[in-house]
């Protein structure tokens, strides 16, 4: 079902339906500030497997985890460094995903993560309203692998169909560009996917950041 969540004054019942679907282990599509995402309870391995199946993706490409509060970062990530904290302070909520070492005690199975977790706090009121009730959700872009990312709930429904229980319609995604991904799990942060946050903006916060081609600010590419 497609449910309207554009108006904060009337979105309550739509969020309720999505919360119930997540609790049942079902999939939901939600708007974000970049593109629409499809997700499920990050702590329900069967539900996460259904996210990957709906996307046509294997365990070798685990989904990121969306969170509703910045403070959740320390509950999910291990040894969060000053560079990550500076990036999060500057760009969360927003189009930045950070890859960190995952807390080893977490009872979840996101796929072949090699002990890491990719985390983001989206800048979208509907998404945050959902996440603050469900807790962390394993979320990837709401499209079949190889197809364009969905910018509306209807585009997502056209690709994912009945594999999703609830589609939250927040109107057209304002960004349309996937998040920038920074890997901070192995020392100096490195951009592994260019996206919504420009490299120059990231380097204004962390000058040592390594670019997607492996270049540093002090060593530009040839």
15 or 59, greater pLDDT: 15
Domain assignment of residue 116, yes or no: yes
Mean pLDDT, the chain, rounded, equals 92
The pLDDT confidence band at residue 220, using thresholds 50, 70 and 90, is very low
Domain assignment of residue 165, yes or no: yes
Residue 135, class by beta-carbon neighbours within 10 Å (0-12 exposed, 13-18 middle, 19+ buried)?
Answer: middle
Helices (H), the chain: 12-23, 45-55, 73-76, 82-91, 125-134, 153-160, 199-205
Average pLDDT in the 110-118 region?
92
| pLDDT score, position 217 | 56
Alpha-carbon distance of 67 to 124, in angstroms, equals: 12
Domain assignment of residue 210, yes or no: no
Domain assignment of residue 17, yes or no: yes
What is the residue range of 90's domain? 2-205
Domain tally for the chain?
Answer: 1
Domain assignment of residue 218, yes or no: no
Alpha-carbon distance of 14 to 179, in angstroms, equals: 25
Domain assignment of residue 212, yes or no: no
Residue 130 sits in a domain of what CATH number? 3.90.870.10
Average pLDDT in the 11-15 region?
96
């Amino acid at each position: 079902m497609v449910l309207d969540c554009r108006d904060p004054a009337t979105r309550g019942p739509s969020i309720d339906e999505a919360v119930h679907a997540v609790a049942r282990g079902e999939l939901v599509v939600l708007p974000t500030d970049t593109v629409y995402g499809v997700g499920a309870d990050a702590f329900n391995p069967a539900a996460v497997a259904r996210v990957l199946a709906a996307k046509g993706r294997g365990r070798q490409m685990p989904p990121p985890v969306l969170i509703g509060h910045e403070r959740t970062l320390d509950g999910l990530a291990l040894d969060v460094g000053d560079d990550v904290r500076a990036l999060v302070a500057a760009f969360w909520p927003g189009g930045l995903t950070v890859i960190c070492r995952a807390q080893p005690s977490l009872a979840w199975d996101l796929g072949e993560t090699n002990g890491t977790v990719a985390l983001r706090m989206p800048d979208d009121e509907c998404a945050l309203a959902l996440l603050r009730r469900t807790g962390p959700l394993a979320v990837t872009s709401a499209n079949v692998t190889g197809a364009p990312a969905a910018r509306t709930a209807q585009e997502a429904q056209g690709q994912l169909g009945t594999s999703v229980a609830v589609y939250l319609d927040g109107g057209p995604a304002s960004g349309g560009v996937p998040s920038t991904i920074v890997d901070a799990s192995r020392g100096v942060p490195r951009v592994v996917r260019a996206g919504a946050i420009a490299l120059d903006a990231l380097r204004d916060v962390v000058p040592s950041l390594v670019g997607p081609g492996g270049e540093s600010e002090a060593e530009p590419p040839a």
